[in-house]
Amino acid sequence: MTKYSYIFTLLTVFLMYSCGPSLSDQNKELRDEVIAVHDEVMPQMGKLKNLEKQALNLAEELESNEEGDSLRVQELKALAYDLNQAHEGMFVWMRQYEQENGERSPEEVKAYLEDQMVKVQKVNEDIKTALAKASSLLEDQ
């Protein structure tokens, strides 16, 4: 094999591997999608806590009134609980999420990221549901 044919062969092999998405590129795209689901609701974390405090304060106020509506108090306390759980759910997910996957094979990384997508979508849904419930129960306050 001549020097030029060796270089040509190396260049050809290099080009074949550089064309088209590799599994690691697919994993990068999947990782980006997981983070995008997270990023969609992460800015709402402060709002969750503020609404939780608002619901608890309103429940306390109603309880202190002798004519307080006990059903409304229970609704507000349940709302505060849901808001807190949605907030905590995000932080639980973030603590267990591994940005770097160390020595895992590309297939293991893909399986991990697919599992994380399911988990972060649940967190996303819980946050949106809690915010919608808060909007409904606190809108006239």
**In the chain, pLDDT over 70 holds for what percent of residues?**
82
Q: What is the band of 24 on the pLDDT scale with cuts at 50, 70, 90? A: confident
Note the pLDDT tens digit of each residue in 69-112.
889 999 999 999 999 999 999 999 999 999 887 788 999 999 99
Which of 60, 52, 118, 119 has its CA nearest to residue 87? Answer: 52
> In Å, how far from its chain's centre is CA 103?
24
Task: Burial-class residue 75 by CB neighbours within 10 Å (0-12, 13-18, 19+).
Answer: middle
Mean pLDDT (the chain, rounded): 87
pLDDT in tens, 8-17: 555 555 555 4
State the amino acid at position 26 in one-letter form. Q
CB atoms within 10 A of CB 59: 20
Dihedral, 115, 120, 121, 127 alpha carbons, nearest 10: 160
| Per-residue pLDDT at 66 | 74
DSSP secondary structure letter of residue 69: -
